[in-house]
Amino acid sequence: MVILGAGPAGLVLGNLLRDRGIDCVILERAERAHVQTRARAGFLAAATVRTLEAHGLAEGLRRGGRTHSTCEFRTEDGRFRLDYSGLGRGERHTVYPQQSLVTDLLTRFLARGGRIDFATEAIAVQDADGDRPSVTVREADGRPGRWHARYVAGCDGRYGAARRSLPPGSVRRYHCDHDVTWLGLLAEAPPSLDAVGYAVHGRGFAGHMARTSDVTRYYLQYERGTAADAWSEERIWDELELRMRAARYGPLRRGRIVRRAVVDLESDVLEPLRHGALFLVGDAAGLISPAAAKGANLAVLEASILAQALADDLRHDDRAGLDAYSARCLAYIWRAQEFSHWMIRLLHGPSGADPAAPFHESLRRSRLGSLRTSRSRQDWFAEHYVGV
């Protein structure tokens, strides 16, 4: 088995295959240090934690993870909180920085004899419809190379070799640009709320997500096309305080902003997810906006489904799981996409250029009001917010 990409999808898949005695190699285009320091989402769903625990991959998570179950909405109509651990299925998130999880998974994979070739760029997957697919690569020293395997897992993201290698006309792409842009920020500052904060404001959305006791992630809705470094730190903090209504609910705890990134909120799904011996996993299968924190959780779920299906085929000559892989994963992906789309519409006002903007703005306020007062809506929210 050749696995493209050493993110959560590739590393979970590699570890689960090693547990089942299936030989595999992971090819990663970045250096190891970069892989272990990429700051990404940190909210793990209960099902994700159960999967990691069941396979002995949660030791670091148990030491350093923090359970979390509260979100706070701040709007022009006031603020309200939801303790979602008492709603829906009664589940919580575990906050654990993705770079820490990746480091844990990577360390365990290598300690158990797994092989990862870093700084190795996959160029193309070839002969996926045959019995002996191959992956052409550019090795770390710049020389060309080729890997052969029974199966290839494309865990290398939206722009990776797996997607590029799909035959023309073999896949249907579903894409949505939500016309919303965020400035993602990582600040060396203690959390200012003991909850995930969602602030809806006339000037745009602002979000607060704790990562550790001294690091907090913030988001600001941002004008598309504006460079990440266009605003000074003082302007950023002032804007966060304005949108989060700090004058009314208490000041934010400021600190040095150590990372910035502009994120255009998009959704992107491919169908099917299997092409002969090539399987798409994680962001290669479907890109989801960060509004609902589903990306890493979907990646772990898909990797676990594929690992079991591969084990059934390679050890028991049972191909039913591989044949069902695409349809099974797409059902989860579309459910997550639906909730993500609902969250985007909940948190962001319509464009002022839209002649129907007043109508859509009133709908958004009604949705927030329903979430504040309706137990059935709160149960629905909790089930989809934590679930995958």
Has 133 been annotated as catalytic?
no
Please identify which of the residues 96, 218, 290, 341 carries the catalytic annotation: 290
The active-site residue, picked from 93, 208, 275, 294, is 294
3-state SS string for the chain: CEEECCCHHHHHHHHHHHHCCCCCEEECCCCHHHHCCCCCCCEECHHHHHHHHHCCCCHHHHHHCEEECEEEEEECCEEEEEEHHHCCCCCCEEECCHHHHHHHHHHHHHHCCCEEECCCEEEEEECCCCCCCEEEEECCCCCEEEEECCCEEECCCCCCHHHHCCCCCCCEEEEEEEEEEEEEEEEECCCCCCCEEEECCCCCCEEEEECCCCCEEEEEECCCCCCCCCCCHHHHHHHHHHHCCHHHHCCCCCCEEEEEEEEEEEEEEEECCEECCEEECHHHCEECCHHHCCHHHHHHHHHHHHHHHHHHHHHHCCCHHHHHHHHHHHHHHHHHHHHHHHHHHHHCCCCCCCCCHHHHHHHHHHHHHHHHHCHHHHHHHHHHHHCC
Annotated catalytic, 294? Answer: yes
**Helix 357-373 and helix 320-347, axial crossing angle in degrees, nearest 10:** 110
Report how far residue 372's alpha carbon sits from residue 381's, in angstroms, rounded to the nearest whole number: 11
Residue with tokens 């070799």: 161
Neighbouring residues of 357: CB distance < 8 A, sequence distance ≥ 6: 349, 350, 351
State yes or no: is 350 an active-site residue: no
Q: Of 84, 198, 222, 325, which is the active-site residue? A: 198
Cβ atoms within 10 Å of 326's Cβ, excluding its own: 18
Active site residue 191: no
Cα–Cα distance measured from residue 58 to residue 39, given in angstroms and rounded to the nearest whole number: 19
Question: Among residues 68, 93, 208, 348, which one is catalytic?
Answer: 68
Q: Active site includes 208?
A: no
Catalytic residues, by residue number, are: 68, 198, 290, 294, 385
